[in-house]
Amino acid sequence: NWPATLTMPLQRYCSYGAVTLGAYIALHSNSALDAGSVAGFMLLGGRVAGPLVSLASVMEDVQKAQASIEHVAWVLNRPNEKQALTHGLRPRFEGAIEFDEVTFKYEGAKTPALDKMSFKIPAGTMLGLVGRSGSGKSTVTRLLQGINRDYSGAIKIDGTDMREINLRHLRKSFGMVLQDNFLFRGSVRDNIISGRPGLSFEDAVSAARLAGAEEFIERLPNGYDTFIQEGSPNLSGGQKQRLAIARALVSNPKVLILDEATSALDPESEALVNANIQRIGKGRTMVIVSHRLSSLLDCDLIMVLDRGRTIDIGTHHELVERCAIYRHLWFQQNRHLDPEGFENDAKNSPALTQGR
């Protein structure tokens, strides 16, 4: 903004200052200055200031273009995944996951998002991830999908280092459901089997039934052939989430990741999705990220994260007894269950959490 800041006083003077100064000179001196001379000076001043103002605008546009080019270059200059997508092992997955001293830092960050994180879960486990904002929950899911590979330590799937696994094979074997999922312009069936060439209509129906979406799909005007606009404005939040879960399940993945998949839903829709999750989790490993601890009660294991580290891992009852962070989060969300316990926990919690 500095070019415009420098030229603005000159522009204002040519517009208003010349009139004021000319009128003052004409009234208080014996010069031959008249109204026509003042008007002429204003016109000439405008001709001088105009190009300067235009130059300032051009410099602003140049700086915007430079910033845009830098953003595009930042994306294009990043190492591509071509090697990882075409080479590597294609093992048969069962779903066992192991993090061994994993440290990861986002570009430009001063502190690591994950700091020597270690945990191990067997295949078929339903694992919940909880923690305060910024504790590294979503980063764990990003590393599991192979989105970020510049970490130290080792991430193993069924004992195989993830860096040695073909990325395309890895992502086809994983299912992912986000908080805000995008549905494409097309039919319900096309959205369920999108990105999965060769799958049939029966596969779409099976996935929708497992996700609990068949019930509302059959009530749509044309069933599975109902047309969905881009962004799906004609569907509710719960319906979109169930379609997204069906899309993730259509390839029968061995690992399913739910990253805040129910946080934006109303209580009724959330209850429907959570009820279906119990059926979905049979025979596959599930990693569920959620701020609502009540949705993780049926998980086999719950892992508590804080500042990129694994604080504790266990069942809900074990963590309430021995983990101060989990106990505080639980009573904070469920004060009506044990107000006395929450007050005692609040007294023992750090001053920052008590608002001091």
Residue 336 has phi, psi (to 5 degrees) of -70, -20
Average pLDDT, integer, range 135-164: 89
pLDDT value of position 351: 41
Sheet holding 160-161, edge to edge: 114-121, 97-104, 152-157, 160-161
pLDDT value of position 287: 92
Average pLDDT, integer, range 258-282: 75
Mean pLDDT lowest among 85-94, 104-113, 131-140, 340-349: 340-349
CA separation, residue 158 to residues 14, 16, 126, 162, 166 (Å): 75, 77, 16, 10, 14
163-190 pLDDT, tens digit each? 888 888 888 888 888 877 888 888 888 8
pLDDT value of position 65: 93
Residue given tokens 């410099």 in the structure block: 59
List the domain boundaries for the chain.
2-76
DSSP 8-state assignment for residue 17: I
Q: Mean pLDDT, the chain, as a whole number?
A: 81
Point out which residues pair with 2 in neighbouring strands.
none
Burial (CB count <10 Å: 0-12, 13-18, 19+), residue 26:
middle
Answer whether residue 311 shows pLDDT above 50. yes
Answer whether residue 244 shows pLDDT above 80. yes
What pTM, to 2 d.p., does this model score? Answer: 0.69
CA atoms within 13 A on the CB side of 209: 6
pLDDT value of position 61: 87
Q: What percent of the chain has pLDDT over 90?
A: 13
pLDDT value of position 295: 80
pLDDT value of position 336: 60
